[in-house]
Amino acid sequence: MARGNHRDRDHPAGPSQRALRVGELIRHAVADMLTRGEVHDPVLEGHLITVPEVRMSADLRLATVYIMPLGGRDKQEVLDALERNKRYLRGEIAHRVNLKFAPDLRFHLDERFDEAERIEKLLRTAAVKRDLSDKKDDE
Which is more confidently placed, 126 or 2?
Answer: 126
Residues 45-102: tens digit of each pLDDT:
888 999 999 999 999 999 999 999 887 788 899 999 999 999 999 999 999 998 888 9
Of 47, 45, 63, 46, give the one whose Cα is nearest residue 55: 63
Pick the CATH number of 17-110 from 1.20.120.550, 3.40.50.2300, 3.20.20.80, 3.30.300.20: 3.30.300.20
- How far is residue 58's CA from residue 115's CA, in Å, rounded to a whole number? 27
Domain extent listing, the chain? 17-110
What pLDDT shows up at residue 139?
55
Taking CA atoms, 120 is separated from 84, 124, 125, in Å, by 35, 6, 9
